[in-house]
Homo-oligomer: A and B are copies of this chain.
Amino acid sequence: MKIRVYYEDTDVGGVVYHSNYLNFCERARSEAFFEKGMSPVMQNGHFVVKDIQASYIASAKLGEILYVKTALMELKRVSFKLRQEVYRDEEKLFEMDITLAFVDFEGKIKKLEPQNLEILNLLFT
């Protein structure tokens, strides 16, 4: 997943605004679904973020091209953990462990069903 840094991603400090790295990672997660002709919004619900542990290592600037790598770290009954890293060439700028859960359209957490597990395994490994 390749991402260009545009004006809207930067702030007055001259670099990418800190929360936008989370957006870049979310684009990569969604793109994994779109690429397979699927949507992260499923018939019976969608994914929500439960927990984030993020480290900011270096800053990205306007016009740079970044890459997001995503790996499945853990699959549990009601949640799963991904490691997502943002690179500029070989240099890691940002790293995040993110735990997501699957909720129905009332926002209730649901057990990950076999079909979800299959999809997650397919998309992120």
Contact = CB atoms under 8 A, between A and B. Distances in A.
Contacts of A53: 52-54
A51 B50 contact: no
Interface of A: 4, 6-8, 10-15, 17-20, 22-23, 26-27, 30-31, 33-34, 39-41, 46, 48-56, 59, 61-63, 107
Nearest to A14: B12
A45 B43 CA distance: 23
Given A8-B23, A19-B20, A23-B19, A56 B49 contact: yes
Contacts of A54: 51-54
A26 B50 contact: no
Contact of A39 (B23, B26, B49, B62): B62
A4 B1 CA distance: 12
A60 to B, nearest CB: 11
A15 B48 CA distance: 10
A36 to B, nearest CB: 12
- Those 8 A-B pairs whose CB atoms lie nearest each other, nearest first: A10-B12, A19-B22, A19-B19, A18-B49, A52-B54, A7-B11, A6-B27, A8-B23
